[in-house]
Amino acid sequence: MRQLKKRFGEIPEAISSQIEDLSVADLDNLGEDFLDFNNLEDLLSWLQERS
């Protein structure tokens, strides 16, 4: 979450909740994949792929 906030600013609560519900494996993937994100929309798309 700190890395996402540093890159994109304040993260909406709805997105934070989705991230908190991720498995350890998905969190590990997010730790790498977020480097390719250009904005919060990219993060939302990534999260939707895991739902």
pLDDT of residue 8: 95
Q: Is the pLDDT of residue 32 over 90?
A: yes
Question: CB 43: neighbour CB atoms within 10 A?
Answer: 21
Residues 6+ apart with CB under 8 A from 42: 36
Mean per-residue pLDDT, 3-16: 95
Pairwise CA distance, residues 27 & 48, whole Å: 14
Amino acid, single-letter form, for residue 27: L
How many C-beta atoms lie closer than 10 Å to residue 1's C-beta?
Answer: 10
Residue 3 reports pLDDT greater than 90: yes
pLDDT at 51: 78
pLDDT at 1: 93
Q: Is residue 11 pLDDT above 90, yes or no?
A: yes
